[in-house]
Structure 1
Amino acid sequence: MINRVTHQTVQRSTLGNLQQNLSKMADLQAKMSSGKNINVPSDDPAGASDMLRLRGEQRAQTQFARNADDGNGWLTTVDSALTSSLTSMRRARDLVVQGGNGGLGATSREALAAEVDGLRAALLEQANTSYLGRSVFAGTSDAGVAFTDTYVFTGTPGSGVERRVAENTSVRVDADGAAVYGEGASSVFALLETVSATLRSGGDVTSHLAAMDSRFESMLTQVSGVGARQNRVQDAQSTLLETQQSTKAQLSAIEDVDLAGIILELQMQEVAYQGALGAAGKVLQPTLMEFLR
């Protein structure tokens, strides 16, 4: 049996093919102008799903990097304050040893006591160090300072400021002021106040050396802990940088076009379209208007 082919059938088939060619050219031009392989999810449903997943990972990585940068700022501030405090404590200890010299007169002892008072004030200032308006030694407290002028610790006991630097990794970025400096009558501030009073009264100031050494060791322990935590944050920053670059490369492989390949494909499609137009001009039935010309 022979199928009947009419001019109308040929016209429809030819116009349909031309329309497909135009549609393909339009898609290629859209990809070339946008630089993206996937402009709408229907272009590649599987690829679009992967893109959404990778973009979600990118947002999480960006937040983790922001947290790590903030945490590093906190820990740097804490480390700087503790380093200054250790320097002040070393100087205070030297003054105590110097004050133990029984040959010092009242004027010399007064001068030593005045310097100790200055070191105590410096320590109190260092203990109230803040980062972005928050005390780095007061935990989650919003009191503004970690210690009052009467050496009362205003921090929240047992609390700590943490930053999540990876999916399952959080790092504490502050320090416990009570553990570093003590509090109230047992604080380093009260100790230095007692030292200066002993110097002025002519007593045996070296009796305070053991207490000063104990407080110095507490500060050293905290400095060590802060250093270890800062290393974790910096390691997380390095890992995040590598992960972000990897995720960006994966996303680019899915959505970015091969510009040279697209241009070549578009040129080939244009040639095919021009050929189809030439063939259509010979196949399509002339219209009445063309006869009238």
Structure 2
Amino acid sequence: MRVTQSMLSSNMLRNLNNSYNKMSKYQDQLNSGKIINRPSDDPVVAVKGMSYRVDLDRNVQYQRNMGEAHTWLDSTDESLDQVGTSLIRVKELIVQAANDTNTKEERNKISEEIKQIRAHIQDLGNTKIGENYVFSGTKTGTPLFVNEPTLNVTVLNEVALGTKTDSNAPGNKTVEIDVFDGIKMQVNTAGMELFGAVDDYLAEVEGLFSRHKDPTQTPATGEEIGDLLGLSGTGATTTNPRLDKITEKVLEVRATVGARQNRLELMTNRLEIQEVSVTKQMSLNEDTDYAKTITEMVTAESIHQASLSVGAKIIQQTLVDFIR
């Protein structure tokens, strides 16, 4: 085959163009810090990178959900703590009032404080996070106590005649949040049964103390007031527990909330570990190895300079060069 001058020139220009493309590629990798800047550079790396980014986006969303779950559980725990503290104060007042040395006026003052404590606990039952009531089950837009206030059993059950212990009632159903792939965490505490029992008990206490204000009724004796404590008191049943039993129930519910908080901490740590792992894998998949890339860039530049030098000798001089 006859090799012409034009063929030598064309081959040289093509090789020089390829050399420029290589140097351009290495410059892009050094500038962007990525070994690919478009999917066509390496489809396999691009697809894997997309997968890693999906995992990271999902991780970020789960961490946002964790924050929401912590808010629910922290608010619930704080409210139950105040309920427990209030019940301790109620017990102190009942013990004080059970002493028959108290005058009618002194017991009336105790009655007023218990009335305010009951109103405070009802307010705690209507605790909100944003526009959501935390103790109303899945009926998060409905308060637990309304009108006077009384327990909102009918609305929370969505039936005409409901009970606060109906496990199928919306007011007793769970609110769950996704915290990991395939894992949901209950963040609410159904308050109908718990706050209903507390409110019923305090209503009974108010009713007993109200006899001191009604001249047509016989004032409650110290023994009757003392019977409000413990399960051995008059009228104590499993459905109408005394104060000690109610306080124990509040502590049990709060312990459950605490257990969920501990699990959330474990899940948060797991998400943080996963984020670090996925980020590392994504970096290994697509980040530029600067030492290697700089070495290849210098090598490509040396080859390019050699090509220019050889090419200058291959191309024959033109007529213009002779005239000059």
Confirm or deny a common fold (TM above 0.5). yes
Q: What percent of counterpart residues are identical? A: 30
State the shift of 1:159 in Å: 2.0
Alignment deviations for residues 183-223 of structure 1 (CA, whole Å, 9 cap, x no partner): xxxx3223213212312423112222232223222211211
Residues 49, 285 of structure 2: 8 Å contact kept = yes
Partner amino acid for 1:208? L
Residue among 245, 254, 258 paired with 1:227: 258
For structure 1, list consecutive stretches of 5 or more residues without a partner in the other structure. none
Aligned alpha-carbon RMSD (Å): 1.6
Whether contact under 8 Å (1:181, 1:215) holds in the other structure is: no
C-alpha contact 1:100 1:206 (8 A) present in aligned 2: yes
Find the aligned partners of 1:174 and 1:147 in 2 and give their Cα distance: 17
Which residue in the other structure is 2:159 paired with?
Answer: none
Structure 2 contact 66–268 (Cα < 8 Å) conserved: yes
For residue 133 of structure 1, report the CA deviation from its aligned partner.
2.3
- Which stretch has the larger CA shift, 220-229 or 263-272? 263-272
Question: 2:150 is aligned with what amino acid?
Answer: T
Deviates more, 1:105-114 or 1:93-102: 93-102
Aligned to 1:101: 99
Between the aligned partners of 1:247 and 1:53, the Cα distance in structure 2 is 10
In structure 1, give the amino acid aligned to 2:176. E
SS in structure 2 at match of 1:208: coil
Query: Quick check: 2:126–2:143 contact (8 Å CA) kept in 1?
Result: yes
Cα drift, residue 144 of structure 1: 4.2
Structure 1 segment 203-242 matched on structure 2, within 5 A: 203=220, 204-209=224-229, 210=231, 211-242=242-273
Is 1:36–1:256's contact at 8 Å kept on the other side of the alignment? yes
- TM-score (norm: length of structure 2): 0.84
Amino acid at match of 2:245: S
Whichever residue aligns with residue 249 of structure 1, its letter is K
Partner of 1:22: 20
Secondary structure of the corresponding residue to residue 163 of structure 1: strand
Superposed displacement of residue 21, structure 1: 0.4
Q: Which amino acid aligns with 1:189?
A: D
Question: 1:260, CA displacement in angstroms?
Answer: 3.0
* Aligned mates of 1:126, 1:197 — CA distance in 2: 22
Deviation at 1:277, TM superposition (A): 0.6
Say which structure is richer in helix: 1
Query: Which residue number in structure 2 is paired with residue 196 of structure 1?
Result: 206
Q: Deviations over 1:43-83 (max 9, x none)?
A: 22211111111111111111111111110111011000001
Structure 2: which 5+ runs fail to align? 157-169, 212-218, 232-241
Change in CA separation of 1:159 and 1:289 when aligned onto 2, cut-off 3 Å: farther
C-alpha separation in 1, matches of 2:54 and 2:114: 56
